[in-house]
Structure 1
Amino acid sequence: EDVVAGIRTPKPIAALAEELPQAYKQFEQIARKLERHYRDVQDMEFTIERGRLYMLQTRSGKRTAEAAVKIAVDMVRERLITKQEAVLRVEAMQVDQLLHRRIDPKASVEVLATGLAASPGAAYGTAVFDADRAEAMAAQGEKVILVRIETNPDDVHGMIAAEGVLTSRGGRTSHAAVVARGMGKPCVAGAETVHVDLTKRRFTAGGKTIKEGEPFTIDGSTGRVIAGQVPMLDAEVSGELEELLRWADGFRRLEVWANGDYPHDAERARGFGAQGIGLCRTEHMFMEQERLPIVQRMILSPSEDERRRELDRLLVFQRDDFYGILGTMRGLPVVIRLIDPPLHEFLPSLEDLLVEVTRAQALGRPEREWAEQSRLLDAVRNLHEQNPMLGLRGCRLGLLFPEIIEMQTRAIMEAAARLTKEGVDVQPEIMVPLVGTLEELRRTSEVIDRTARAVLSEQRVAVAYLVGTMIELPRAALTAGQIAESAEFFSFGTNDLTQTAFGFSRDDAEGKFLLKYVDEKILPRNPFETLDRDGVGRLMQIAVDEGRAARPSLAVGICGEHGGDPDSIAFCEELGLDYVSCSPYRVPAARLAAAHARLARVERDR
């Protein structure tokens, strides 16, 4: 009782060997016996009275993530348990913890607010409220955290430079969350009690105001926003973890691929054991600062000829991007998704432009000073949609402007042809997004195949490639048998499939009502975190069955954020998918989860 109450500080067990050597020897023998019997680390209570040892109780010992891995591997080496048992004893989420910096559990912290745990890991830095400033300050060696109401593709360069990201709006599949996870950066999203004032460059939370340049900490594993700097523990990938994951690879059937948009993503993914790139998002490449003006000129071009001139400039950048990522993944497949977001995302916001032009007019400035902004405003108005997520995007964009698809296909195939000539084995797979009908895919595939044939003829080289589609609309899932006539592979885009199946806005639902739904058991789980088996899962089952009935060789995977969730991975195993694809930093945990899923299925089928 004194020890539990903190009145006395116990001595280390090694001290017993010196003070009561006979009792220590007896305790050591009993401890070995108990560990061998229970085949697990034991938490034992004992007492010694007049030199005699009395064992009071024993139970399996609690352990940290690091200890769980080390204990499992050590017990295999001691031949107490099998490799299969070792793999099953470590949870996928424990592996995930080991790959990210985390706050020291002993540290005392002042929590200002709690949002959504959108991307794991902890980060410390000074508050910065726009992406350009974040990039500039980081270039001077300062650690910064990017604070936004919500992020968009314009902010990517600032997110790359920042230590972490905090947003007051958005959910676990919002832009900030998805991009941060892909980069392995901590992110707290949807912290609605954090009031962000972008004009005054400050935020208020928990009765405290943090101004630009002032320090604070975020914990993306718990969603906490914390005042000041707190002690942290660095991530470590031990030899024991690598060995455990190699054992897991021997038990799993599902391949584990990674989502990655740049060569450094691909390199990191390979290092973590990824067997391919399941989603390379080309639009993120468009948002880089030297390319964005070209993209904007392309969008604003009044004619196809002018549009093609700007696309020719973009071709050089895209070709280099694909050369890098295909080369890094040599010998492994790379699924490249054609442009997906609506065009207005590449232009300044309607509200900002309206304020600029109105202010210039009110101040009576010469028209030449604001003519360009006025032209941009007209273009943004023309592209404005009430519901852009279900508007002119994905394959619809490519069908209206086929020259965009031609440029992207040419960039992919020219990069692949160059690498092939250099003796590098490349496996490009071109993925068409937001397909709802067979005819959409067929017509897009015609543009892709025509362009690919032209490039390979020019380069005098043969390169095998596949053309497939994302299944992210209920209609696509329900008509998968038809779509498989033209698709060589399916990849479930489960973020949008969940959104369209439920009719939930993935950017708004978590912050408004979804978490209350989960708390009050209206929904058993957050469907943006773990796949909804009854609804979305049923659509997936139909798509797999009908797709493979029409095309037995059809490869099927998943590239939404569910690809890193252990329960969703188990469902993918049941569906018979070929692979799951997730953020690079989630690959090790996904490898272990895939092994767990396979072993559980084998056990059930006995």
Structure 2
Amino acid sequence: MQNDPHTTLITADAPVTAETHGGRTKCLQRLVRLELPVPRTVGLSFDAVHKIARGEMPDMAFLLSPFEAGELLCVRPSSEDPDWGGPSAILNIGMNDARFVDLAERLGKEAAASLYARFVHSYAVLVARLDPDVFDEIGMEGQASLSEALRAYEEETDEPFPQDPAVQLAEVLRSMARAWEGTSARLLRQAKGAPADAGLGLVVQSMALGFGAGECGSGVIQLVDGQTGLEQLTGRYLSQSQGRDALDGGSEALFLERDPRGPSLEDLAPQAFEDLIAYATLMRTKLREEMQVEFVIEDGRVHLLDGVRVARNSRAAVRIAVRLAEDGIITRQEALMRIPPSALNELLHKQVDRTRARDVAGRGVAASPGAATGRIVFSAAEAQASAARDEACILVRRETSPEDIRGMHAAKAVLTERGGMTSHAAVIGRGIGLPCVVGASEMRFQIRKKLLTGRDGRVFKEGDVITLDGTHGEILVGEVSLLEATLDDAFKTLLSWADLERDIGIRANADTPADARTAKNFLAQGIGLCRTEHMFFEDDRLTVMREMIFAENSEDRRAALERLLPVQRADFTELFMTMAGLPVCIRLLDPPLHEFLPSDHAGHRGLAEALDLPLSEVTRRVEAMGEYNPMLGMRGVRLGIAVPEIYDMQVRAIFEASINAAKSGAPIVPEIMIPLVSAKREVELVKMRIDVVAAAVRAETGADFDYKLGVMVETPRAALRAQDIAETAVFLSFGTNDLTQMTYGLSRDDAGRFMSEYVKQGVFAEDPFHTLDVDGVGELLILGARRGRAARPDLVLSMCGEHGGNPESIAFCRAAGFDYVSCSPFRVPVARLAAAQLAIFDKLG
């Protein structure tokens, strides 16, 4: 049997693998190799179980041959990944009337009856598929329960309970195999990430009873806390029990080590306790993992039934991996490879405790991770008012605009009806670490009436409390239990190891000094994108900006911009000082001017008062400035060429700020980036004006300085003509948000309405605004990179769109020879880990 590839006695050299027999079978073989006290075990392969599901049973005599006559058995599932689950284990197979008599003499009638009753209950419910309520009412303890269970089985099936152990085992195997192959089970494990054709192995094992004279029972033990990852002996033990009874034993379950709160296993069976600690420690060292051990004690002697990886949250996973590496059990590289980069999001933000019940009112796109509870507000002004009262609030909008920035900063989370992963709310939310759910189109948003209707018809009004789960895209009713963010020493240690491995730079997209401080705290290697427009939406600045927009001529525009120069210079100075000599790439003004103007009648009236103009004139000018598609209109470099005074003011502020910051001793070489370029001539025109301003600042201050000029590649033409543009620009930074939008002809704000259907029907494999389209958009990046470096070999290449923090995008950029990626500050740790894993993977081949 040992050499049979499908019905295999588990020995040290039996031919079993996790890929053919499942993880449990392979783990048991490892325990056997360590000469640990594992009951005799036979493993059935995936192929054998698949055949059983089709009705092709194995040779039962052959299967039973390793076991002693009359020995009780159990059958447990063994899937390739324990997280994929499997049918419930069935214990005490082989229990019948004759065996009951034998065990009654050895264990006593009550204990023997309990063993028999437990088997009848499991067999009736899991194998014969009888009504579980009938048998739950009967119970599983003692002779009365046994008699009633046997009677109920016979009544429900019109036949006596089967007495032949071979028949019992065959039916158990058939039932478990068919359960795994069933549609419900298949859908359930696919939801957990298992492939549709995932196999199931089965483990047939001698029963260690857990009942009898002396100290007998069962329990589980692990050496760490699965919630914190801290070293802590965890588990329970229950006398006279089987399986995982100890976990459901309530007040009857015992502590493992001595505890002032009650009796413990260490008190009752000190030698067994000592053995368990030794076995668990050996497993940790030899299996190179923190393991949960399932055990049975018979008359003081320990039997190990199973060992599974300790279930853990992300916080515990990081601590466990780091401690295993620090103890020399695994390498630092392996510790890095064990943590999914996305898991770090759970450490950076508060999270919903998903072990607790929660009431879901609606769902949307999980656009920015984290969770927050607060009262509903429907405007940015109301959010600011709530913050002033020190009341947590959730800002609810159809979609956000730059005017909502202050309200977003005041809110604890943002919910929008429209939008996708690169919508305004999503980008700003990720940038400032604000939980955000967008595209919640299954809910009804009535902003004017200040009502929000859930998918089931429940109505929420302003002031009602909800919880937003930006990690999973859920809108929850009321206040729910939240887990705190955790940035401990293990987190910092892991990322320090990551920085030693990675071979691509990681910068942050940071628009304000506060964003820059966050980026610096997360050890970003500079700022790869500073969007200057976000600096203009404070009340005092916005009014001046509007005066500039309404100016009749160049001189009036300059006069208004002179008032913005000091605040812009102060912002840039603080930005440079915060980054302390690290590179800072500043994008010149990008959005169309109408975004700085009010869009409603009340706003027009307020602007008319501020500018001392007739309301009709303000309304006319605002309407005249509107564009059919402003995202393809006068914005970016087009605005800089048409209204050059804006860029003149901004570059002057950058140069003067760099001079101020350099006085602290940190060398400052600002990087100036021109947005939305399509042609070489656009860059030349802007560069000529920048050089004029630079010369003027040098003459006025007597200070010398340098700067780097680059282009944000957001149009397909810029990528295709990169060789021309690179003659004037020293760096190209690919803005994949707009580049994806223009390549597909999709609106990133509106595509969410149909994108899920497109993905579902296979039009797109993924939402291209969420996962970089390497075939289409990616080809433009590769063409742009190759052509740009053909013209300028030292051309610096980067990606600064929201894709920049995705592991898949980082892999693409590494392969394409990019120098760095830039992402939201709170995604910097994720990107650092992902980049390290990619480098390690390449080294390992």
Q: Same fold (TM over 0.5)?
A: yes
Cα 1:550/1:602, change in 2 over 3 Å: farther
Gaps of 5+ in 1: 358-366
Amino acid paired to 1:114: R
**Is the 8 Å Cα contact of residues 369 and 435 (structure 2) preserved in structure 1?**
yes
Counterparts in 2 of 1:576-587, with a 5 A limit?
576-587=817-828
Cα 1:522/1:297, change in 2 over 3 Å: same
**Is the 8 Å Cα contact of residues 714 and 739 (structure 2) preserved in structure 1?**
yes
2:601 to 353, 367, 372: 353
CA distance, structure 2, for counterparts of residue 375 and residue 176 of structure 1? 32
CA distance, structure 2, for counterparts of residue 524 and residue 12 of structure 1? 50
CA distance, structure 2, for counterparts of residue 415 and residue 207 of structure 1? 54
Residue in 1 that maps onto 2:618: 376
Amino acid paired to 2:433: G
Per-residue Cα deviation, 1:540-570 (whole angstroms, up to 9, x for no partner): 1111111112111111111111111112112
Count of residue pairs brought into register by the alignment: 592
Is the aligned partner of 1:266 residue 2:516?
A: yes
Q: TM-score, normalised by structure 1?
A: 0.94
The alpha carbon displacement at 1:456 in A equals 1.9
Residue in 1 that maps onto 2:809: 568
Residue in 1 that maps onto 2:288: 39
Cα 1:408/1:190, change in 2 over 3 Å: same
Cα 1:211/1:369, change in 2 over 3 Å: farther
CA distance, structure 2, for counterparts of residue 372 and residue 46 of structure 1? 84
Amino acid paired to 1:314: L
CA distance, structure 2, for counterparts of residue 215 and residue 334 of structure 1? 40
Per-residue Cα deviation, 1:364-385 (whole angstroms, up to 9, x for no partner): xxx9999633222212221111
Name the larger-Rg structure: 2
Residue in 1 that maps onto 2:440: 191
Counterparts in 2 of 1:158-197, with a 5 A limit?
158-197=407-446
Is the aligned partner of 1:121 residue 2:378?
A: no
Counterparts in 2 of 1:22-171, with a 5 A limit?
22-171=271-420
RCO (CA 8 Å, sep 6+): is it higher in 1 or 2? 1
Residue in 2 that maps onto 1:278: 528
Secondary structure at 1:147 match in 2? strand
Is the aligned partner of 1:314 residue 2:314?
A: no
2:460 to 191, 204, 210: 210
CA distance, structure 2, for counterparts of residue 373 and residue 39 of structure 1? 74
Cα 1:152/1:372, change in 2 over 3 Å: farther
Cα 1:322/1:7, change in 2 over 3 Å: closer
Residue in 1 that maps onto 2:743: 501
The alpha carbon displacement at 1:281 in A equals 0.6
Cα 1:84/1:389, change in 2 over 3 Å: same
The alpha carbon displacement at 1:5 in A equals 10
Residue in 1 that maps onto 2:725: 483
Gaps of 5+ in 2: 1-241, 258-263
The alpha carbon displacement at 1:136 in A equals 2.0
CA distance, structure 2, for counterparts of residue 22 and residue 212 of structure 1? 63
Secondary structure at 1:427 match in 2? coil
Percent of matched pairs sharing the same residue = 47
Secondary structure at 2:386 match in 1? helix
The alpha carbon displacement at 1:264 in A equals 1.3
The alpha carbon displacement at 1:19 in A equals 1.9
Residue in 2 that maps onto 1:13: 256
CA distance, structure 2, for counterparts of residue 412 and residue 404 of structure 1? 13
**Is the 8 Å Cα contact of residues 122 and 217 (structure 1) preserved in structure 2?**
yes
CA distance, structure 1, for counterparts of residue 693 and residue 539 of structure 2? 28
Residue in 2 that maps onto 1:389: 631
Amino acid paired to 2:601: L
Amino acid paired to 1:548: R
Residue in 2 that maps onto 1:364: none
1:237 to 468, 487, 500: 487
Residue in 1 that maps onto 2:787: 546
CA distance, structure 2, for counterparts of residue 232 and residue 11 of structure 1? 30
Shifted more, 444-453 versus 194-203: the winner is 194-203
**Is the 8 Å Cα contact of residues 417 and 456 (structure 1) preserved in structure 2?**
no
2:778 to 514, 518, 537: 537
CA distance, structure 2, for counterparts of residue 499 and residue 35 of structure 1? 50
Per-residue Cα deviation, 1:413-439 (whole angstroms, up to 9, x for no partner): 011112223433223100000001111
Shifted more, 37-46 versus 268-277: the winner is 37-46
The alpha carbon displacement at 1:520 in A equals 2.8
CA distance, structure 1, for counterparts of residue 789 and residue 386 of structure 2? 52
Shifted more, 30-39 versus 330-339: the winner is 30-39
1:248 to 484, 498, 501: 498
Amino acid paired to 2:734: F
Secondary structure at 1:290 match in 2? helix
**Is the 8 Å Cα contact of residues 421 and 461 (structure 1) preserved in structure 2?**
no
Q: TM-score, normalised by structure 2?
A: 0.68
1:519 to 739, 757, 760: 760
The alpha carbon displacement at 1:4 in A equals 6.4
Cα 1:59/1:316, change in 2 over 3 Å: same
